[in-house]
Structure 1
């Protein structure tokens, strides 16, 4: 082949490759998914965030979503930190192959969670956080049997926690914090079977005592802080558990701390602003973060671990705690 023709071929190869790439990629996007995405864009009044959602471009190349590498169905949809207006488009429920749905920090979103979400049978992760969602947590979320993570934090959801959440077999993360939830914590939540179970219910108006069923639950992380809970919270502790984080602060719990058995994996324990009495057990020396202030504790702070290195504010406003870093017991 003549050198001139060879040079021409080398020049044309990139253009030919680009043409073939566009030709093949143009058929990747499934028409039903593309039609649903355009309905979502229209429901949101064609926002700038979705400027890349051009009907002339393969939808698998649009921003804010991801397609499966083999099936090319839309499996992930994520809108983050934007001023999108209105309510959650019900058309999202028609993206029936979604595995991951994340709507986060969309402060102009309001209204309820659409019932159309019950069609998302493959959904593993659902984050609807920092929106302005109102109404109750819908019981129909229990129909999402493949859900492993549910984050509804930082909204204005009201009412109680539905029992139906406990029927989701692999649900291991439940984040309902920073809402306006009321009522008791359902005993049925003890049926959650997810690995390293996270239950985050802080900053609500939940009341009553903890379910006795929680005694048999091995939480990874448990945060019940800033509610109106009362009674005996010692049942969430246990020597044979693998819990690493417990925050029950700013409630009205009352129990004898000296009788509590702590597991060695527990590293963070916050119990401030309760009515907890007794003394600090020696097993607490393995704790790396601690706050027992504003309780009714007495006795000498055990020596060991980091207990003496904590600031005095960790212990103050108790009845008669003493020993470093507080004043001597003598």
Structure 2
């Protein structure tokens, strides 16, 4: 196995600084966000490639249809494949979302997953004529990789839905599993039923949009030229009658070897109202699209999909947003919107995805949100929302992703969330002010991939029912007031576990963790662990990204662990009783973060620390002259016989 890329790691502190707990938390958050963004981009490029490959097939089918006056269904998806290890590696549904497509991982398509099987090969399944376009959350299952994606893979961008019912207009890659996600891709180019070019109103509207762009460093709109067919312009999708139905522009481009970030600066021109058949706009990760909510959509009564993510839109979400009654997806996460959520949002009953995270929204969640019973994804994370989480989830029978983290919600976890047990794959309530016990019903969420309850004030014991969470991959209960006993779990392979900073006295690292065959992030800081680290023998894993055993009573040496964990990115073991010779350590080449402060470490500081980005070996028993280093004095203080820059000069 090749070593994974560590380019996703982004330290929050400056290179050479020592880490605090807050630094680590911020760094992990940044790393996770970047991971999700990259996964979405890679998946997007994969699906665009698939779409391009089958354009000729669609043109051929169109020719047959036009010649014969009939349509033919290419194939059917009757295969009953084996279920995947996790049904929510990338949360999905019938309509793609920009969260479906992020990171430098791959796509895990299994037999029957959107492919039609014949004796010789598999091929994409095409929609039957007049089949209504399905809607839902996100696309494609994702191979397990570093850290939660929540969609923590949420994670993870999207494909352009066209809304057409014609066979020629949509490539429909569908899972044959019951209740499994479906991805609808628009044609990336129109079907050439004639030599006609796009409608002049569409061309005029798009050229006016281009005039509103003040900076295009990568020449993203270079193909947008007057007098050429706008259906062939970059990011434009047309129907068979040459009308523009979707605009898709992304700031993350795969050039074949690496991901390239680019931008567009400017505003969204109201002239897009001229595009009478436009039903989707996707402006993703462009970072510098500014202005207010795109009011041109109110002139287009059939508008369905708004994805304007990670830009600089500001102001308030319009109070009349409820007039967009055909809207199936509203995602403006990662902007600068402020104010409260308008009550008229309750009128958007066709919504399958509502993503308003990472803005500056305040106030309570409107009670009318309970009318949005078609939601498969609800994300309000990273705002300043307050009050209690409404107890109205009993009608959300299709909800698969619920993200309410990083707000100011108070009160208990609402009991109506128990109604989501059959389908919910991702529950994120971390970084709030929630109190009370962890509800027992959460142990009945057998489809749960990710559970984040961290950084609250939850108390009591972890329910014994958690033993039933055999498929969970990401569990974060850190920074609460939870007490012993911790239940025995039967997880077959957990990727990310954080139980840090509660009131546990685990004694040892749980056996179900030690035996896990896949684990990337293990954080058990301040968990009352009393072991000799030399005696800990975790099973052979793909690799560890992060291990945090800080503030325990661990003795011995980490040498064996460091020598066998060749892909380690971060190792944190401060505040223990580790005793070993630092100069004898062979650091993994991937190691970027090392905190061994407040232990009993001896020896010299080796030159090999040069490859580490953040180091803290303060308050140990190290001696000798420091090698040339970029680290500040705070990384080395408390070692009485260390000398040399940035500490005191060595005595001659």
TM-score, normalising length from structure 2?
0.40
Residue 498 of structure 2 is aligned to residue 270 of structure 1: yes
Equivalent pair of 1:170/1:193 in contact (CA under 8 Å): no
The Cα shift of 1:296 comes to 2.0
Partners of 1:19 and 1:212 lie apart in 2 by 58
User: In the TM superposition, what whole-angstrom CA distance separates every residue of 1:285-305 from its partner, at most 9, and x where no partner exists?
Assistant: 214321111122334564222
The Cα shift of 1:80 comes to 2.8
Partner of 2:528: 296
The Cα shift of 1:125 comes to 0.6
Equivalent pair of 2:421/2:442 in contact (CA under 8 Å): no
Selected match of 1:187 from 397, 409, 415: 415
The Cα shift of 1:25 comes to 5.4
- Write the mapping of 1:206-221 to structure 2, written as runs, cut at 5 A: 206-218=434-446, 219-221=448-450
- Which structure would you say has the larger RCO, counting Cα contacts within 8 Å and 6 or more residues apart? 2
Partner of 1:114: 342
The Cα shift of 1:276 comes to 0.8
Partners of 1:27 and 1:248 lie apart in 2 by 47
Structure 2 residue matching 1:169: 3-state secondary structure: coil
Equivalent pair of 1:171/1:193 in contact (CA under 8 Å): no
Partners of 2:485 and 2:379 lie apart in 1 by 33
The Cα shift of 1:19 comes to 7.0
User: In the TM superposition, what whole-angstrom CA distance separates every residue of 1:107-160 from its partner, at most 9, and x where no partner exists?
Assistant: 1x2121112122212111110011111111222211111101000011110011
- Write the mapping of 1:154-173 to structure 2, written as runs, cut at 5 A: 154-173=382-401
Residue 550 of structure 2 is aligned to residue 316 of structure 1: yes
Partner of 2:471: 242
Partners of 1:249 and 1:28 lie apart in 2 by 46
User: In the TM superposition, what whole-angstrom CA distance separates every residue of 1:23-82 from its partner, at most 9, and x where no partner exists?
Assistant: 9557989xxxxxxxxxxxxxxxxx9532153444435188558xxxxxx93210123334
Selected match of 1:228 from 457, 461, 469: 457
Runs (5+) with no aligned partner, structure 2: 1-193, 203-240, 247-264, 284-300, 559-576, 580-652
Change (3 A) 1:117 1:300: same
Equivalent pair of 1:172/1:193 in contact (CA under 8 Å): no
Partners of 1:296 and 1:94 lie apart in 2 by 55
Partners of 1:312 and 1:91 lie apart in 2 by 46
Equivalent pair of 2:470/2:489 in contact (CA under 8 Å): no
Partners of 1:57 and 1:95 lie apart in 2 by 16
The Cα shift of 1:243 comes to 0.7
Partners of 1:208 and 1:19 lie apart in 2 by 59
Partners of 1:281 and 1:84 lie apart in 2 by 47
Partners of 1:204 and 1:176 lie apart in 2 by 9
Equivalent pair of 2:279/2:304 in contact (CA under 8 Å): no
Aligned-pair RMSD on alpha carbons?
3.3
Equivalent pair of 1:262/1:284 in contact (CA under 8 Å): no
Partners of 1:213 and 1:62 lie apart in 2 by 38
Partner of 2:323: 94
Change (3 A) 1:84 1:208: same
Equivalent pair of 1:169/1:193 in contact (CA under 8 Å): no
Selected match of 1:305 from 527, 539, 544: 539
Residue 482 of structure 2 is aligned to residue 253 of structure 1: yes
The Cα shift of 1:236 comes to 6.0
Change (3 A) 1:167 1:19: closer
TM-score, normalising length from structure 1?
0.75
Equivalent pair of 1:99/1:125 in contact (CA under 8 Å): yes
- Structure holding more helix per residue: 1
Change (3 A) 1:283 1:210: same
Partners of 1:304 and 1:48 lie apart in 2 by 53
Partner of 2:405: 177
Change (3 A) 1:297 1:50: same
Partner of 1:151: 379
Equivalent pair of 1:53/1:63 in contact (CA under 8 Å): no
Equivalent pair of 2:440/2:465 in contact (CA under 8 Å): no
Structure 2 residue matching 1:18: 3-state secondary structure: coil
Equivalent pair of 2:198/2:244 in contact (CA under 8 Å): no
Partner of 2:234: none
Partners of 2:341 and 2:357 lie apart in 1 by 12
Structure 1 residue matching 2:196: 3-state secondary structure: helix
Partner of 1:17: 196
Change (3 A) 1:20 1:150: closer
Runs (5+) with no aligned partner, structure 1: 1-14, 30-46, 66-71
